[in-house]
Amino acid sequence: MALFNPLLATAYDLQCLLENDKISSQKLVEIYYDEIKNHDIKLNSISRLASKEKILAQAKILDEERKNGIIRSNLHGIPIVVKV
pLDDT tens digits, one per residue of 47-61: 888 999 999 999 999
The region, left, alpha or beta by phi > 0 then psi within -120 to 50, assigned to residue 77 is: left
Which ranges of 2-84 does DSSP label H, i.e. alpha helix?
A: 11-19, 25-43, 52-67
Phi and psi at residue 53, in whole multiples of 5°?
A: -65, -40
DSSP state of 69: T
Task: Over range 27-47, report the average pLDDT.
Answer: 89
Q: pLDDT-derived band of residue 81, with 50, 70 and 90 as boundaries?
A: confident
pTM score of the predicted model: 0.89
Domain parsing of the chain, residue ranges? 11-67
Q: pLDDT-derived band of residue 41, with 50, 70 and 90 as boundaries?
A: confident
CA dihedral 83, 41, 35, 58 (to 10 degrees): -60
